Structure 1
Amino acid sequence: MKALCWEGVNKLAVENVPEPVMRNDQDMLVRVRSSTTCGSDLHLIGGYIPAMRAGDVIGHEFLGEVVETGPAVRQHKVGDRVVVCSFIGCGRCWHCANDQWSLCDNSNTNPGLAQAAYGYETGAVFGYSHAMGGFRGAHAEYVRVPFADYGAFPVPDEVDDVSATFASDAAPTGWMGADLGGVGPGDVVAVWGCGAVGQMAARAAMLLGAEQVISIDRIPERLAMTREHIGSEVVDYTATDVGAELRERTGGRGPDVCIEAVGMEAHSPGPQHWYDKTKQALRLETDRASAVREAIHACRKGGSVFVLGVFGGLVDKFPLGAVMNKGLTLRGAQQHGQRYIPMLLDRIAAGELSTRHLATHEMSLDEAPRGYDMFKNKKNGCVRAVFHPDGG
């Protein structure tokens, strides 16, 4: 079958690879109908995530049609249209039972590196390095889905393929940031990043009752899209002092909840960006954390900061003193998608949550390397490229 493979740092190619086979009685085989790029994939492509091997199939955000089920699969049948959570959860360990699906104890079959880096293993992710389980990714014609009854969800007839694809990762990730960040009625929320996840976090904050939502980015097309489709206020961080702007817009207090949706390759104006970029290139730090620093400094005293962007290891100049002295609550997580996906599909079907506009470019799987080039370099207003293995 055809699949998009990582062949080295900044090298992608569509290759012919063996079709997946069933390995366990809880497995399911899915024919992919659509998959999408994700900002966290750029960390893989750029060589910032360890344990990648040439030939690894990438991609983790997808929708497809069931073509085979294992004997223990009870919730799905051949022909069902399903969206699959990017994180794989067993459904039975303590973390899954407590809706902390990305922390599953049993899905990551190669936990050693995560244990060394973080103290405990994480859950597994489709197409996201051997440190995260080594599972083949979704930029392919077919995918094996382990623990299928827990990770795959039927798509309502009213929801089109592309809209539903974003319920695999972007929408639940954004919603989790607003939910676990503690957004409530009347809050002021600031979101760093106007990519797909940032837009979903902003919309989630609105639906959870926030009185004012302010989204921060530097790309004109993304700022305009967020204003038009999400309804958030926007700030171009290259045109103003973000901290001063947020204080001005909040009566001097600062946002109640700050959500960072950028991750380990954040940009920032001025010399700080080159300092971080140089240290990251020399591996003196693994992640550029300028957006996290800004969120911590901008958040009101006693407020909440939630880190949604993917970070791999260590950052420099982390403002721990501000966290402690301002009495902030600091949280972060990879997405617990199984907790949110059914609800989000219902909201998409009801018209409460729009995701279709995120797919600025649709193309065949054969064009995936070009799609990632546009996505990475933000060409032609690309927010997300969506791939259709059948040619779309």
Structure 2
Amino acid sequence: MRALCWHGKGDVRVDTVPDPKIQHPRDAVIKITACAICGSDLHLLDGYQPTMESGDILGHENMGEVIELGSEVTNLKIGDRIVVPFTISCGQCWFCQKGLFSCCDRTNPNAEIAAKAMGHSPAGLFGFSHMLGGYAGGQAEYLRVPMADVGPIKIPDNVSDEQALFLSDIFPTGYMAAVNAQIETGDTVAIWGCGPVGQFAIRSALLLGAGRVIAIDEIPERLVMAEAGGAETIDFSKTDVYDELMKRTDKRGPDSCIDAVGCEASGHGAADAVMDRVKAAAFLATDRVHVLRQAIMCCRKGGTVSIPGVYVGMGDKIPIGAAMNKSLTIKTGQTHVQAYTRSLLKMIEESKIDPSFVVTHPASLEDAPAMYRKFRDKEDGVIKVVLRPGR
């Protein structure tokens, strides 16, 4: 089959690789009908995620048609159209039983490596380094799906691929970010980053009762999409974010702040952001945490900082004193996708949200290397790329 493979920092290629096979009775194999490039994939492209190996197949936003099933998968049948969560979860361990699916204790075969870096291992993830399981991703013609009796959700015929695909990651991720923000009716929510996760966080915050959402970015097309979703906007390249947020909230600060940027924050020349970039280039730090610092400083006293943005290692000079003295709550985590997919699919079916709004660039799998570069470099108005293998 054809698959998008990582070969080193900045180097991804479409290669011919062996087709996946059933390896366990709880496996399925699907023919990919749609997959997407995620902002998290850019952290792999840019070399921030350790334990990648040349030839690793990328992609964790996947859906397709079931073509083969293991003997213990009884909830699916050949021909079913399914979306696959990016978190691989057993459904049986203590964490899965509590609905903490991204903390699954059983699906990372390299748990010892992850535990050395993090204290404990999270769940295995598709297409996201060997420290997190070394599972092949789905930017490919076919995908092996472990624990297929737990994770995938069937998609009805009246929901299109473009509407359903993002149940694999960015819709639940944006929604969980808003849930973690502990929004009360009428609250003001500030969201840093108007990429795909930020766009879903905007709409999710409003669905959960926020009175105002203020979205922060510098890319014009992202700010336009945020406004279309109901947000006020701040262009951080033109305006001091702290001063503007204080002005718009009568100096109290937002009730909740969501960091939908993560480890590659830009900062547009801010002194701390420049230092982050220098330290990362010199391997003195792994993560550029300008946005997290800013969110902590801007959030009102007693407020909540929610972090869906991906961080991979160590950040420098996080103002923990401000967080403590302001009585902030900080909530974060890889998304517990399986906890949200059914309720979010129901929202799609009831026309409360149409996730296809975020798609700007449909493309073929063979186009993937060029689309990675466009997405990374924010060229051609790219916000979300959907790949169609076999077309």
Which of the five TM-score ranges fits, normalised by the shorter chain? over 0.9
- Give SS of 2:227's match: helix
- Residue type of the alignment partner of 1:307: I
Deviation at 1:112, TM superposition (A): 2.0
1:254 equivalent in alignment to 2:253: yes
2:234 maps to what in 1?
A: 235
Matching residue's letter, 1:366: E
For residue 273 of structure 1, report the CA deviation from its aligned partner. Answer: 2.3
State how far apart, in whole Å, the 2-side matches of 1:9 and 1:176 are. 30
Report the aligned-residue RMSD: 0.9
CA distance in 1, matches of 2:178, 2:85: 19
Q: Shift of residue 113 of structure 1?
A: 2.0
Residue matched to 2:283: 283
Per-residue deviation, residues 68-116 of structure 1 (Å, max 9, x unmatched): 1111112111111111100100000011111111110001011122101
Q: Which amino acid aligns with 1:302?
A: G
1:309-343: CA deviations, max 9, x gaps? 11011111110000100000011100100000111
Shift of 1:269: 2.5
Gaps of 5+ in 1: none
Whether 1:128 aligns to 2:128 is yes
Q: Report the equivalent of 1:167.
A: 167
Aligned to 2:43: 43
* 1:152 partner letter: P
**Equivalence for 2:144:** 144
Identity across the alignment (%): 46
The CA deviation at 1:206 is: 0.5
Cα distance in 2 for partners of 1:263, 1:352 equals 28
The amino acid of 1:123's aligned partner reads A
Aligned to 1:337: 337
TM-score of the superposition, structure 1-length normalised?
A: 0.98
> Deviation string for 1:244-294 (max 9, x for gaps)?
111111122111111100010001022322211010111111100000011
User: Is contact 1:31–1:64 with CA below 8 Å preserved after alignment?
Assistant: yes
Counterpart Cα distance in 2 of 1:186 and 1:114: 40
4+ aligned runs moved over 6 Å, structure 1: none
For residue 32 of structure 1, what is the amino acid of its counterpart? I
Verify: 1:205 aligned to 2:198, yes or no. no
Q: Is the 8 A contact 2:273 2:289 kept in 1?
A: no
Distance 2:148 2:181 in 1: 29
| Aligned amino acid, residue 233 of structure 2 | V
Question: Are 1:301 and 2:301 counterparts?
Answer: yes
Equivalents in 1 of 2:313, 2:13: separation in Å? 28
Amino acid across the alignment from 1:374: K
Contact 1:156-1:345 within 8 A present in 2 as well: no
Residue 174 of structure 1 contacts residue 199 of structure 1 at CA under 8 Å; is this kept in 2? yes
Q: Does 1:226 align with 2:226?
A: yes
The aligned amino acid for 1:262 is: V
Secondary structure of 2:14's partner?
strand
Instruction: Give me the TM-score of the superposition, normalised by structure 2.
Output: 0.98
Tell me the distance in 2 between the aligned counterparts of 1:296 and 1:274.
19
Q: Which residue of 2 aligns with 1:155?
A: 155
Counterpart in the other structure of 1:325? 325
